[in-house]
Structures are given as structure tokens and as C-alpha cells.
Amino acid sequence: MTNQVSNEARVIPLRPVPARPAGPESSPARNTGNTQNRETRENAGQREGKEPLWRDLVGEVLRRERRSQERTLKDVADAARISLPYLSEIERGRKEASSEVLAAAAHALGLGLADLLSLTHAELTRHTTPHRRPAAARPRPSTGLCLAA
């Protein structure tokens, strides 16, 4: 009696596959990315009560600065030597840009990298201030006193 082994590969899932919610958006034929577009149209930081993503805030700052100067995406992309679609994706918070790319975009807008980061930090503070923990729950700042045994 011979024992034959199947040539079919067995797939062993490492993580459980999340169940898809029932509805028209969950069917593969109807999912056209509208959910993702809706998410990018929301204000940064409004995703289910979570803190905003850094890339969303950087994009908001870059777009606000570009529009305040009444410049087009093409104009800024050319000045920064970045492709127009890539700069657009950075502004929409779809891409995590490197520090070199962010510096180039900032310089094209007449800002330094430190200026861009400072403006983004201010935006982060503005978005997260109402969500801060109560003072009693915050860790106390260190007084610098250290005891040794």
C-alpha cells in the first residue's frame, strides 16, 4: 500500500483574516476607493478620535502655504524639482516624504525645513489640545531629585 502526497500547497494563516462588513462597499466590484477618498477629505486627526498623522499635517501646512502665495502645484513642484503628482500626494497626506523632499518643497515656498516643522508642530498642537488628558492624569515633570540606595 503506497501513501501518496498531494502536490497542492497548504496555506496556514498566521493571523486571522478580519471579517468584512456586509454592505455594498465591501463587495470587491463596487470598492472604487471612495472610502479612502472620504478619509482624506476629512480633517486630519478626525479619524475615529485618533491623533492626526504627521504626513496629513505636513500636507495641510504645505497646501495652506502654497495657496496663501497663490501658487499652483506645478509652479511649486518645478521649483522644488519634485514631480507634480508626488507633491500632490504629499499635500493630500498620502505619502511620507523624506526630509530632503520636505526641505525642497519648503524652500520652494520660501520656508526653511525648521519653519515647515514648526508650523506642522503648531498644527499638531491645535489638533490635539482638546484631546489632552486631565492635569491629574498627566505625569508630573521631574524635579531632578534622585535618591540612591
The string of pLDDT tens digits covering residues 51-73 is 889 999 999 999 999 999 999 99
In CATH, 51-127 is 3.40.50.2030: no
pLDDT number for residue 143: 58
Q: How far apart are CA 120 and CA 109, in angstroms?
A: 15
Q: How far apart are CA 82 and CA 146, in angstroms?
A: 51
pLDDT number for residue 71: 97
As a 3-state breakdown, the chain gives helix, strand, coil percent values, each rounded to 5, of 50, 0, 50
Amino acid at residue number 62: L
In sequence order, what are the residues at sequence separation of 6 or more whose Cβ sits closer than 8 angstroms to the Cβ of residue 61?
116, 119, 120, 123
Stated pTM of the model: 0.58
Question: Where in the chain are the domains?
Answer: 51-127
